[in-house]
Copies of this chain bind each other. A is one copy, B any other.
Amino acid sequence: MIELDEIDRKLLAALARDATQNASALGRRFGLSQPAAWRRIRRLQDGGAIKGRRLRLNTEALGFGVTVFLGVKLARKGRVSLEDFERAVSAIPEVQTVEHILGLYDYRLRVVARDLADFERVLRRRIMTLPGAGEVEANVLLSEERRPGPLG
């Protein structure tokens, strides 16, 4: 487990919010010179505290207005079945996230589609035909708020 001091936490929180901020701006904000801030960020990256930097796309503006969460129960839960299921799910382009979970459902999928008609197509032709898929529960996303989390 990685130990962080106060400044590391502030840097990570700031960058988790907006990764476009540069080392000199962050340094000014937290009382460091540009190289000092840069070295800390570099050290956090090398130490594995940072998984990566990603662009967040505006899927709605890009024509994908519908996001649905699917809870999926597997009918058969053997080892092979899990792998078959995961491999088949990974081949569906509309699936953004595959979460293997413990609880009432076995998997949770985040699926995007152009509209509800498009989602129905994905559901009928892609999801319902997945190997081993049993019961499916759907929740349509109305709105979403992302928060910094306990580190921010």
Task: Report A's interface with B, CB cutoff 8 A.
Answer: 1-2, 4, 12, 15-20, 47-59, 61-64, 69, 86, 90, 93-105, 108, 112, 137-147, 149-152
Report the nearest B residue to A4, measured CB to CB: B62
How many angstroms between the C-alpha atoms of A72 and B20 in the bound complex? Answer: 34
Report the nearest B residue to A104, measured CB to CB: B137
Is B97 a contact partner of A63 (Cβ separation < 8 A)? no
Is A149 a contact partner of B94 (Cβ separation < 8 A)? yes
How many angstroms between the C-alpha atoms of A58 and B15 in the bound complex? Answer: 13
Nearest-neighbour CB distance to chain B for A32, whole angstroms, equals 17
Of B69, B142, B149, which is within 8 A of A96 by CB? B149
